[in-house]
Structure 1
């Protein structure tokens, strides 16, 4: 298990360097760590010390906890229906199922929402500014307001947008509306 984590860490460190278009010499200059040590680290030939990780995290502008969370064990590829959390707000007529929960190594998640007839849910602000959302109506009709723009969506319609301000999800129909929301972190 430790070996697999070290392998993922080595691959992630190499990817961070490549994403910045830095050579090993560039990274050595920024960290004070020899080029050969960095090369061996990225090939998984050595395990990093806390001090070495600290130097690399400083160079990349990451916290050590973010780096380690980024290389945790991969999320399970299948999230069984029985393992998906479901939350119901009886007062508003809203049911929320987390189909694909967030994970440190992934930027997206999938949520299923069901609004009873007449249900009206308002959010004053996004949890993260610029959050990307794709709302796909699976059954029924949904009125979704993003800022000052209202969209009337029917079965099969998909609304794509970035979340910057308040939103409102409303079921104007006489039947429940079921929809999927794909959330992608910026």
Structure 2
């Protein structure tokens, strides 16, 4: 299993590369994302760990899904990904764990992610990383509230919600225990 610091260091480096590839100074990226210049600088130097919401803002300006960004810091993605080799990322403050079950590939449009939110935990996104992104969310254990497209959906174990994401969204675990769900992402 890869160390947390190794993945975060490579992620920080990739974020800096993306900014340079776009020809943006830190000030311009700060303006585009609404994130302070100092936070972006510390993030690119791997001095801080990004939250899910912060990564989503960066993915939105770079036109990538979070899974694609995380896959870019991995070596060449294999077709078979054993459980112990799947990329795991945590946002401790939000009570959120994200596992890239099937890493994205440039030639494919879909990917599978496992999400776990602790009771009372939630993740909010201001916008989708790619407008029109199709999501299929299948709750495996627990309960999940999803707000998207002006509606809130309450899902229980076995329920599946499908939608295209055009605006803000929120994933929330009302409890009493954690929720575990599968998220299928399909690029438009």
What range describes the TM-score normalised by the shorter chain of this pair? Answer: 0.5 to 0.7
| Cα distance in 1, alignment partners of residues 77 and 107 from structure 2 | 8
Question: Any stretches of 5+ residues in structure 2 without a counterpart?
Answer: 1-75
1:148 Cα shift? 1.1
| Cα distance in 1, alignment partners of residues 112 and 83 from structure 2 | 13
The answer on 1:173 being equivalent to 2:169 is no
> Would the aligned equivalents of 2:145 and 2:173 in 1 still touch at CA under 8 Å?
yes
| Cα distance in 2, alignment partners of residues 158 and 91 from structure 1 | 26
SS across alignment from 2:94? coil
What RMSD in Å do the two structures reach over aligned CA positions?
1.3
Q: Runs ≥4 in structure 1, deviation > 2 angstroms?
A: 74-77
The residue that corresponds to 1:25 in the other structure is: none
Instruction: Give the total of aligned pairs.
Output: 113
The residue that corresponds to 2:97 in the other structure is: 95
1:88 Cα shift? 1.0
1:161 Cα shift? 0.3
| Cα distance in 1, alignment partners of residues 165 and 80 from structure 2 | 28
SS across alignment from 1:91? helix
> Would the aligned equivalents of 2:77 and 2:103 in 1 still touch at CA under 8 Å?
no
1:136 Cα shift? 0.4
Larger radius of gyration: 1
The residue that corresponds to 2:118 in the other structure is: 116
1:75 Cα shift? 5.7
SS across alignment from 2:89? strand
| Cα distance in 2, alignment partners of residues 92 and 136 from structure 1 | 20
